[in-house]
């Protein structure tokens, strides 16, 4: 089973490349944001619990997020692996994910990080903001704050997965096809 974590700042192309990986390798893409929205919208017990924390302005505990991911993984027993997008964001979350996967005789095979210069990302996001109407992609200061948060939170994860020999950097500034080719080369070697 090829379980992959896909990293990248907003605008790096994670969604596009996740679709490619999903189709090419029969992987299931788990976007943590989508999982949260589904559980909250459908008022599942975990969604109700998560919303209680969010309504108080608190972070949803890792245990709740991991349980949502466990439920999502359990729904898809016939896939060749999973792409985790948006999780983990901290070392403690990475450790919790590893524990969950180990309990289910699985592991992370690789962490793939799409690297793109921040000025290019800002331009991409501002363009996306115009096209999509997404408010969070229309203000350069807010975009750069998201980058700073990403840098602060994910830096320890680079060390965590590098120590396991599972961290791979991909140049995300080329064409979609050239980036997909780089990803394919790595995933085929897993």
The residues that are catalytic are: 14, 89, 128, 134, 146
Instruction: Provide CB contacts within 8 A for 108, sequence distance 6+.
Output: 3, 4, 5, 84, 97, 98, 101, 161, 164, 166
CB contact at 8 A, 10 and 121: yes
Buried b (16+ CB within 10 A) or exposed e, 168-177: bebebeeeee
Spatial contact of 21 and 183, defined as CB atoms under 8 Å apart: yes
CA 156, CA 109: separation in Å to the nearest integer? Answer: 18
Q: Which uninterrupted H or E stretch holds 109? A: strand 108-115
């Amino acid at each position: 089973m090829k379980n992959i974590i896909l990293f990248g700042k907003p605008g790096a192309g994670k969604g596009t490349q996740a679709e490619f990986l999903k189709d090419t390798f029969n992987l299931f893409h788990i976007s943590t944001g989508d999982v949260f929205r589904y559980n909250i919208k459908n008022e599942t017990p975990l969604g109700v619990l998560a919303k209680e924390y969010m309504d108080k302005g608190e972070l949803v505990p890792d245990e709740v997020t991991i349980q949502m991911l466990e439920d999502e993984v359990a729904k898809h027993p016939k896939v060749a692996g999973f792409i985790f997008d948006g999780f983990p964001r901290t070392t403690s979350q990475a450790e919790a994910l590893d524990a969950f996967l180990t309990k289910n005789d699985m592991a992370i095979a690789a962490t793939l990080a799409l690297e793109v210069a921040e000025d290019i990302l800002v331009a991409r996001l501002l363009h996306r903001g115009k096209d999509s109407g997404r408010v969070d992609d229309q203000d350069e200061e807010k975009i750069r704050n998201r980058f700073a948060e990403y840098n602060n939170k994910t830096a320890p994860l680079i060390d965590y997965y590098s120590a396991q020999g599972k961290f791979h950097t991909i140049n995300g500034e080329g064409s979609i096809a050239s980036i997909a080719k780089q990803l394919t080369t790595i995933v085929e070697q897993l």
